[in-house]
Structure 1
Amino acid sequence: MSKFESCCIIDDDEFFAFNSKKLMKEMDFCENVLWYSDGQEAIDSIVGLLIENIKIPEIILLDLNMPKKDGWAFLEEFNKIPENQRSGVKIFIVSSFISPENMAKAKSFTMVEQYMVKPLTQESLEQIKETTKGS
């Protein structure tokens, strides 16, 4: 599969974001990587892109535990964006915690493809490619 046009990391952990961006570049995973340190910054930017009629990222890697607006609040806000403007977006929750409650809650959001556990690896990026093939 050809690489993605753009991806977005929403995570307050700079080390995770840096390493994920580096891995994505090494694997030629996507053209562009956007990084936001909290859900509020991310939703504001995504809405701004839509207002400017700029395509939003196809892949979003979302952490759940962040200051200001956490991953759950981001999902609630993202869900308010009209379906036709977010239909091509796949969200992957990337968390440090294996929580059955969080995994179940994540499934309640139709735009969430999968719940993954940190760190991001070559295998997890390959899994994202496989999951989104033909979508």
Structure 2
Amino acid sequence: MSKKVQIAFIIDDDEVYIYAIRRLIKIQNLCDEILVFTDGQQAVDYLSEHKDDISRLPDVIMIDVNMPILDGWGFIDEFQKMNITETKPMKLFMISSSIDSRDVKKAKEIAIIEKYIFKPITFEELKEVFS
């Protein structure tokens, strides 16, 4: 079995989704620590502040497409500029209610995105994210 995820990011502005996904992650003991950001800029700021401390960087990032301030695409642009994955490997998943085929296509074209998952995420998909 693979090593348990230490830190996961949830970057999403949907409070109901955040509550539900955090609860499911905790119940299933999939992760030690969950950090929640309600827009991409908060997550970029956190990563910028902690980029030199591998122990504070996430193993998994789950990000929504549509959010205020800095959306999922903006976060990915900033994330790629940081080159943090050279320091620590991370898995990034877009988890969104957007069924816009342009979003799905764009996600497939960005190498660092493991998978585009439609909300609501199923338990099987969640297990895949944390495997």
Q: Same fold (TM over 0.5)?
A: yes
| Residues 75-105 of structure 1: CA deviation (Å, up to 9, x unaligned) | 000000124135x111100000222211110
2:86 maps to which residue?
84
In 1: Cα distance, 2:101 partner to 2:20 partner: 26
2:126 matched to 1:125?
Answer: yes
2:36 matched to 1:35?
Answer: yes
In 1: Cα distance, 2:36 partner to 2:91 partner: 16
Q: Equivalent pairs: percent with the same residue?
A: 35
The Cα of 1:53 is off from its aligned counterpart by 5.1
The Cα of 1:120 is off from its aligned counterpart by 2.4
Q: TM-score, normalised by structure 2?
A: 0.90
In 2: Cα distance, 1:62 partner to 1:54 partner: 20
The Cα of 1:72 is off from its aligned counterpart by 0.3
Alpha carbons 2:40, 2:70 under 8 Å: kept: yes
In 2: Cα distance, 1:102 partner to 1:70 partner: 12
1:72 maps to which residue?
73
1:48 maps to which residue?
49
- The secondary structure found in structure 2 opposite 1:80 is helix
- The secondary structure found in structure 2 opposite 1:15 is helix
Q: Which runs of 5+ in 2 are unaligned?
A: none
Q: Which runs of 5+ in 1 are unaligned?
A: 131-135
Q: TM-score, normalised by structure 1?
A: 0.88
The residue type paired with residue 23 of structure 1 is L
In 1: Cα distance, 2:54 partner to 2:25 partner: 26
- The secondary structure found in structure 1 opposite 2:82 is coil
In 2: Cα distance, 1:120 partner to 1:84 partner: 29
In 2: Cα distance, 1:55 partner to 1:3 partner: 15
The residue type paired with residue 85 of structure 1 is T
| Residues 27-68 of structure 1: CA deviation (Å, up to 9, x unaligned) | 111100000000001110111111455441010000010000
In 1: Cα distance, 2:98 partner to 2:122 partner: 16
Structure 1 runs of 4+ aligned residues shifted over 6 Å read none
